[in-house]
Every structure is written in structure tokens, then in C-alpha cells.
A and B are shown apart, each in its own frame.
Chain A
């Protein structure tokens, strides 16, 4: 192998698994250390800079970081990154003074954002301080998009949304709530310098072709519309027996909301197997914790009704069959259909994009699935000056992806407005600094111990189920937060090897608790992986390879289960190993077009 190019920002970035997995590349270990130090406001601001909604995401994020967490590879459970983020939001001081200031004067450019969800709000946050005049339109009266309309209040209190929307709206945004946009042509005709579409995936999928759908309509609801009606106070009760169709996170929100609005016998019924459900494991767990059974391998066949009123749903029992390519097919299980009685049905079987309001002669191309053609890097459509982001760009994903899209779109819009090439992307800003404080003292806590994940305290279920606005999770208290934060392995403190200093004394090899360092003859990667001190079978994790050393061998380190304990560097007599903190900051619109002095 050729020596690892550590100057490439991607190399060490990949070692920080959580940050690499986060669409917005939040510097996770950095803010976790600040939480451990009790510096909640600082931790919040680091989050706020990269993911805009720490309080909201700390309760609702899909957490792509957690399955990636290194702790999960050496112990069973990853660090509770998401809930630590919430700790920063819960215990911070007043941070208003640390927020960017409203621009002193306009730069004369006007931007329209359609939809007031996470993507649009991110665009607004990135551009407003630069002097852009931002107008945000939304059909709902308040900002927040699906964060406000679809996520139930027992998971995300209104006050948290208000606070984090407020930080952005205070930048001098012209927010026009309750405005339904029915023509993009009209908006384009109003002379905006750029338009951002962040309208989400606002249409719930229906099961219109099932018999009885029309007759039972009064008691059959589309999940996201029903959730939105609760959010805005239009609905406050439901029947006692409720069936929720669908296995995603919306289904979990529906069933748990139903339990709080009078549903006593609430069931979730899914087509697939329990394991293949789209809902996050912790959301399934929370639903079951509230006494909601999840029944699987049942495909709805018919809505039954009597005297114009819904009476139940007939299901076909199915089984999963796999063909030789491993593709799954659901086939009749050869058992009789079953009829389950209910008063109401909530359908949460998927969401769709919907662009009836975009005229097709504007130069914005749509693909065969009727989705706009959007560049994955620049977020620009085929019409210059029109950008997409969030679920509106590539279909339903989640909040943190919408934030990432928003940042990228803001960079593009800024470049577009000052006449630069949107394809020319600014590189991230990285630093690499030694953490050595003394002979065996580092600036981070390198005492690594076996420590199981701590559980987030919950409100007593009986109280929680009585009021839909009572938040179920209490969040970590500072004491638990400290303990959970200590589980972080500080993967951003990198093991950096200088081959010109190495005397090949083997001290690092001997001390490494997880046998990840080897000195051996060079070879190609597949060969090297079999010749290391411990097998390096996880190919998603890189090998860090040095140049040729004095004896003709190379140093090869398997990054997979490195604990970042720093013992290699402590035992190194020549300082060939050093622990250096790697920071990577994504460049947002603010720094995209001027040099960093």
C-alpha cells in the first residue's frame, strides 16, 4: 500500500465515525467533551452552527451518528449522542447574545423560500446575516414545517420549536404564514434573485382502492394530516379502538398520539416483518412501552362498515419469501383472513412529494417519478436560480438531511447571487493540533473504561398518557449526562504517526489494548489485512499505513476498534506517535466566498 495521505481532510474525518455519518458533519466529540465539562452553552453553539436545531434534533433526530459510533463496535451500545445534544439545549444559559446579528444593511438581494421547514429555515439562517432579504412562505400559520405539524408535542414541546425558530426569524426574516403558494411562475415573476423550494413531502399515501374506503371515510384518516390537525388544535379525540396501518416513524407518532386522545385499544399493523419495519428501533420500543402491540405480516384487504360507519379492517396473512437475489416477496400464508374490529383507522403508509403548483414550462425538469431533477452537490434545479432541499429534493428523508441540504443550497445561492460558479464548492476548514500537555498528560480524558449506555429517564407512563402535551422523556440530568458523555472515545483526537521519528522499538505494538498496530512487510491491502496483529476484517474502516521505515518494514494501523486511549503515544520514546485533535468545520455560506484570514 502507498502511505496514507493524512493531509486529505477525508482521512481523519472518516475516523470520527459519528461526524462522518452526520449529514451536517456536526463535530460530535467536541461538543460531548464540552457537555462533560458542564459548558452547555458552548456545546449548544457548536451544534447550532452545524445543525441549526439542537433542541429539536436532540429529541427527534434519526441519529445516523449512533449506529456509526465506535463504542458500538467494542461494546454493545453506542454513546447516546442524540440525547446528549438535548442536554446542551436543556441546560444552556441564555444564548441570544451569541447569535448572529441582524445584518446592518441589506445587500440588495431578495430570496424567496417556499415552505418553513428545516431546509428553508437553514437557508434563511445562513443567508440573512450576510444581508440577504429573505421571505419565507408557508401554508401553516407558524414556522417549523413538519417539525411543528407532524411531530407530536409529547416528543417535542412547542416551546423548543418556538425558541429555535425564533433565533432565525429574529434575523429579520419576512415570514408569511398561512400563505399557500399555488404557482411558482408567479413567485418567479416577483423578481426574487433566487428561489428555494423546501416544501417537504406533504402528501400522505392513501389506500383508495381498498373496498370500503369511501363508505368508512369519516373514520379513516391520513396519518400526517391527522397529526397536523392535532398540532394546530383541530382534533382532540379519537375512538377507543384504533388501528394504525404502516411501520414507519409516522405510524409510531400516530399510535402514541391516539393513546393520548382516548384510544384504549391501539394496534399497529404492518405488512412486513417486525424487523424490516422502517421505524427507528427506539421509536418502536417507546410505542410498545405504552402498551401498543405491533402485529406483522398482515396486509389490509378491505375496510368493513355497517350503516355508513366503519367497523373494522380485513387482513390477509402473508409470509416473506426470498428469491435467489435476496429480494423479498410477500405471499399468502395459506391461512384464513382475519377481521379486526375498530372505531378509527390511521393510515401512515408512506409520504409522497407533490408539485402541482410548479408549472412544467419553467425550465425545471422532472424525472419519471415526477421528482424535480436536482444536483446532489449544489441543490440547484435545471433552472438556474431555483434550488431545492429537504424532502422536496430527493423524497422523504429526515430533519438532519434537510439541514445539510439547506447549508449546501445557501452556499449555492450566495455564489449564484455574486456571480460565482455554484459548482465550485468551498473545502471544509480543518486543523490538526497536538494534545500533549506533559509526559503522560493529555488535554482530553484518555482513561477508557467499560461503561454501559445509560437510559434516559422517562415520565411515568400513566401521567404521560393523560395529556398529549406532556413530554415523555425527561432527558438526562447533568449527572447522568456527565457519565454518558464520559463514554465517548474522543475519536477526533487522532493517532498521528511520523515515520521519520520511529525507531521500531515495538512499544506501541506491545501496549495497544486492542492490537491495532503492526510493523510488517508492505503488501497490497487485502494481503496486509490478513497479516496484522489482529484480523482487520471490517473493510469499511481504513488501514493507516506509514512510509518505509529503517528496517524496510511499514507501520500498519487498523482504525476499526482503536480506543484513542493514547497509550501508543504515551509509550513512544521518540514522539513518533502523537495524539492530535482533528477539527473539521463545514464551510457555510458565510465563509464560502472569502478567504479565511
Chain B
């Protein structure tokens, strides 16, 4: 943990994106989390993804609940909108914000306590409604802020720091998200930015409910022998289904891939995901196949990572509700008070 502000000096040859910003322009305040926390790596991955997509920081809203993970929005995108809500209530605040202003990019940051325990209902309903957002769970399998009790995602049989074995069954967040109708579901690892950054970029560009379960070792309370969320355990049991490159409409594809090893997934805005298949049998467009893959690897004692499921034609909450196209704060008197004739017609329809 550091108290000093990060020096303002930058590398003299630092690169900038299309907006003229360097990755350091997307930073927030210095993190007060424990040194080495996986959450800080996820913050850095979010910074990298947003920087690489050249997104203007003021078009992003970051929302969170309570917990170590929910503190992190302070540590990235310092120039973006932020809302630190009540414990487990991030999804409903995000849903409301999204309904009011559909033009912003919504980034929900939560943890396993915030989303799998106190906020599990909120999590479930935001997934079923198809809120257009990126929902990241920084999953360390432990209540770090209260000194290391098992959380709802702790694996059965894993040991806490004092050697006590967890006897409860874990909640598997990705299975739930797929089951509940999320249209972009992935799992990754804070220690693998090569996989995580393109996943975050693709999730941001996905116009529907995008969910990323990111395993994030708690260096203080869950990085020991016997833990199933430690750096060593995750690295040893990581079964990546695929690796991906995210390609914006402007950047041409430069890498070459062999037949059957890769697949291009086109997104709504013209950008593409170049999917390099590690497990050639996995079909990312098939909910059932995704569920099967998760179960198969789980049974083999492996942690399945990568892009698990994607629906390329997502339908989001606004489409379900038939809301107005413009953000509510741009509506003026003529739109809000359309006149007697329209009111009469509305009243007639309700008689």
C-alpha cells in the first residue's frame, strides 16, 4: 500500500491513442488495496482496454457496490463518471442509469461477496433483463475486507488461511450468467492480461449484457497452499478454451491463422473478435455447449477460461421496453409534452 501520489513523470516515448491520450491519462487515484492484489491488475487491464479502444473517459460510467473490488473504480478512469452504491445494489443502480442515459458505456465492477451473496438477486435480474453493460466480478473466493472468511464462490474442499476446509458448494457465476440470458460470458484471470484485455474490449463493444468472471487472487487471505484461487493454483489448472484478438474497424488483421484454428466473430459496430481456438471442439455460439464445457472441465478439476459464450445479435433492455432512442437528459419540452391530441389518443387507448 502506498500513500504517496504516483509521480507525474511519464516515459518520454510513451505512446498515445487516437484521442492523443496515453494510458496514464486513464488512471485514477493510487490504489489503497494490499500490495499485489489481483484487483489492481484488473484495474490496469481496464485502463489498457479503454486506452486501446480510444474511448473518451467522460463517456464511461463506472458503478460498484461495497467491498475490495468495489473500491477499485476510484483507482482507474479518474475522468469518468462514478457511482459507489449500496452493498450488492450496483446492478439496479446501473440499470436505472442505463435507462436514463443509454449513450454512456456502463462498467459494473463487483466482487464475489457483492454479487454472489448479498447482491445475487440483483445480479440475476440485471442478466435476465439484458442491460447493456460490462459486468465484471473480481472473484477472489474470500471476504478479504473482513479478514478472509469463505465467500459463496469458494470451492468445496478448498482451505482457508488457517487450514479450515470449506464444506459448502460454490456458486458458479458464469454458469448462472449463461443460464439467465447474458449474451456475452467469459472467464479470465487477473494474472493473464494477454487474455483479459481483449475480453474487456470485446465486452465493451458488445451491445448487451456482458459478464466477465475474473479470478483475482487475494494475496493477503487467499493465496496459500490449499486455496483454489491462488496464483499458483489458477496457473496450474487454467484450461483456456481460446485466445482472442480484438480488432477495431480501423485496424486491419495482420496475424495469420491456420484453417479451423480460428474464427472471426463480427460485432454490431463493425469490430471483430479474432478467436484463436485452443480447444477446437468448443462452439462459442452454443449456450448448451458452453454449459457442457464448464461442467466437463470442472469435473476434471480445471478452471475453464476464455470466451465461453457470445450471442452476436443481442437484444438489450431498451429494445425490450421500446424506450426512446435519446438519453432522457436530452429530451426537451416538445418531446416531453407532446400536446393535447397525443394525450387524447393515449387516454383513448386505455379506456
Residues of A that sit less than 8 Å from B by CB: 73-75, 439-440, 446-450, 503-507, 509-511, 513-516, 534-535, 537, 550-551, 561, 563, 565, 567, 570-574
Contact = CB atoms under 8 A, between A and B. Distances in A.
B13 A439 contact: no
Nearest to B47: A510
B2 to A, nearest CB: 5
A505 B41 contact: yes
A572 B36 CA distance: 6
Interface string B319-333: 000000000000000
B35 A74 contact: no
A534 B14 contact: yes
A570 B5 CA distance: 12
Contacts of B44: 506, 509-510
B10 A507 contact: no
B232 A550 contact: yes
Contact of B8 (A73, A449, A574): A449
B12 interface: yes
A73 B12 contact: yes
Contact of B4 (A74, A446, A534): A446
A503 B36 contact: yes
B235 interface: yes
Given A510-B40, A510-B43, A550-B235, A505 B219 contact: yes
A507 B40 contact: yes
Given A439-B1, A503-B223, A505-B231, A448 B36 contact: no
Interface in B36-80: 36-38, 40-41, 43-44
Contacts of A507: 35-37, 40-41
Contacts of B4: 440, 446-447, 565, 567
A504 B36 CA distance: 9
A505 to B, nearest CB: 4
Interface size band for B: 35 or more
A32 B38 CA distance: 38
Per DSSP, chain A at the interface is loop
A571 B2 contact: yes
A555 B7 CA distance: 22
Interface of B: 1-15, 24, 31, 34-38, 40-41, 43-44, 190-191, 193, 217, 219, 223, 231-232, 235
The 6 tightest CB contacts between A and B, nearest first, are A573-B36, A510-B44, A448-B7, A534-B11, A573-B219, A505-B36
Given A505-B36, A534-B13, A573-B34, A567 B231 contact: no
Contacts of A550: 232, 235
A555 to B, nearest CB: 14
Nearest to B75: A510
B7 A574 contact: no
Contact of B11 (A75, A439, A561): A561
Nearest to A439: B1
A40 B38 CA distance: 46
Given A448-B9, A507-B36, A571-B35, A515 B41 contact: no
Contacts of B15: 534
11 contacts: A439-B1, A440-B4, A448-B9, A503-B36, A503-B232, A505-B41, A513-B8, A550-B232, A551-B235, A567-B6, A573-B35
B191 A504 contact: yes
A571 B36 contact: yes
B240 to A, nearest CB: 14
Given A505-B36, A570-B1, A572-B36, A514 B10 contact: yes
A450 B8 contact: yes
A522 B92 CA distance: 47
Contacts of A535: 13
Contacts of A516: 11
Contacts of B12: 73-74, 561
B38 A505 contact: yes
Given A503-B223, A503-B231, A505-B217, A574 B9 contact: no
B7 A565 contact: yes
A534 B13 CA distance: 7
Contacts of A509: 44
A571 B35 CA distance: 4
A439 B38 CA distance: 19
B237 to A, nearest CB: 14
A288 to B, nearest CB: 30
Contacts of A565: 4, 7
A535 B10 CA distance: 13
A440 B217 CA distance: 22
Given A503-B223, A507-B37, 12 more contacts: A450-B9, A505-B217, A507-B40, A510-B41, A513-B6, A513-B9, A514-B7, A516-B11, A534-B11, A534-B13, A572-B36, A573-B34
Nearest to A571: B35
A588 B2 CA distance: 42
B36 A574 contact: yes
A574 B7 CA distance: 23
Nearest to B193: A506
A564 B6 CA distance: 12
B204 to A, nearest CB: 20
Contact of B6 (A73, A511, A537): A511
Contacts of A572: 35-36
Nearest to A535: B13
Most B Cβ at <10 Å: residue of A504, A510, A572: A510
Nearest to B24: A513
Most A Cβ at <10 Å: residue of B8, B9, B31, B34: B9
Contacts of A449: 7-8
Contacts of B6: 511, 513, 567
Contacts of A514: 7, 9-11
Contacts of B191: 504-506
Contacts of B217: 505
A28 B349 CA distance: 86
Given A514-B9, A516-B11, A537-B13, A570 B2 contact: yes
A412 B223 CA distance: 58
